[in-house]
Structure 1
Amino acid sequence: MLLQTPICDFGWKAPDFVLKDPDGQVMSLEQIRGDKGTLIAFICNHCPYVKAVIAQLVGDVKILQEAGIGVAAVMSNDFHSYPEDSPQNMKIFAAENGFTFPYLLDEDQSVARQYDAVCTPDFFGFDAELGLQYRGRLDASTARVVPGARRELREAMLAVAKTGKGPEAQTASMGCSIKWK
Structure 2
Amino acid sequence: MQAKTCKESRTIKASLILPHDTNMHGTIFGGTVMSHIDEVSAIAAMRHCRRPVVTASIDSVDFLAPAKLGYSVCLEAFVTHTGRTSMEVFVKIVSEDLTTGDRQLTATSFITFVALDGNGRPTPVPQIVPETEEEKYLFETAPARQQMRKERRNHTQDFYDQIDITKNI
Please, what TM-score do these two structures have when normalized by structure 2?
0.24
Larger Rg: 2
More strand by share: 2
Identify which of structures 1 and 2 has the higher relative contact order when contacts are C-alpha pairs closer than 8 Å and 6+ apart.
Answer: 1
